[in-house]
């Protein structure tokens, strides 16, 4: 991957993480809503409905959290790869300019006329 491709992958990964965070926030809000409904439920049917809603949220929340953690690890790897590529590119530029100035210094002096 070149630097541009890595930067694009980082941008995409950030969008994924942002989306997952929105999903997580929504699920936590829904869990609170379902728990409130469950506490106020008066019939067995209502209790079952609210309990099912809670169960779905409680199952999905840890899954989303794992996905976020994985995406963050991948983001960190991409950022490290980008830094390494940039460092290598910078080193290459520095090496090339050092070699060029070294070659200029090695050129024989123009002959002097007596």
Q: What's 48's domain CATH number?
A: 1.20.58
In this structure, is residue 13 part of a structural domain?
Answer: yes
In this structure, is residue 48 part of a structural domain?
Answer: yes
In this structure, is residue 40 part of a structural domain?
Answer: yes
**Helix/strand/coil percentages in the chain, nearest 5:** 90, 0, 10
In this structure, is residue 65 part of a structural domain?
Answer: yes
What is this structure's pTM? 0.76
Residue with tokens 């490290």: 80
> What is the Cα 86 distance to its own chain's centre?
18
Alpha carbons 48 and 51: distance in angstroms, whole number: 5
pLDDT digits (tens, 9 = 90+) for 12-34: 999 999 999 999 999 999 999 99
Q: State the residue range of the domain holding 39.
A: 3-82
- Asked whether 56 and 29 are in contact (CB, 8 A), the reply is no
pLDDT digits (tens, 9 = 90+) for 72-97: 999 999 999 999 999 988 888 777 77
Number of domains in the chain: 1
Would you say residue 105 has pLDDT above 90?
Answer: no
- Asked whether 13 and 71 are in contact (CB, 8 A), the reply is yes
pLDDT at 97: 73
């Amino acid at each position: 991957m070149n630097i541009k491709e890595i930067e694009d992958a980082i941008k995409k990964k950030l969008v994924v993480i942002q989306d997952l965070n929105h999903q997580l926030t929504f699920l936590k809000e829904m869990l609170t809503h379902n728990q409130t409904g469950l506490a106020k439920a008066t019939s067995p049917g209502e209790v079952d409905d609210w309990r099912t809603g809670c169960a779905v949220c409680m199952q999905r929340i840890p899954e989303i959290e794992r996905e976020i953690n994985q995406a963050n690890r991948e983001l960190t790897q991409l950022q490290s790869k980008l830094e390494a590529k940039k460092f290598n590119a910078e080193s290459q530029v520095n090496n090339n300019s050092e070699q060029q100035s070294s070659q200029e210094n090695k050129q024989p002096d123009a002959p002097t006329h007596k």
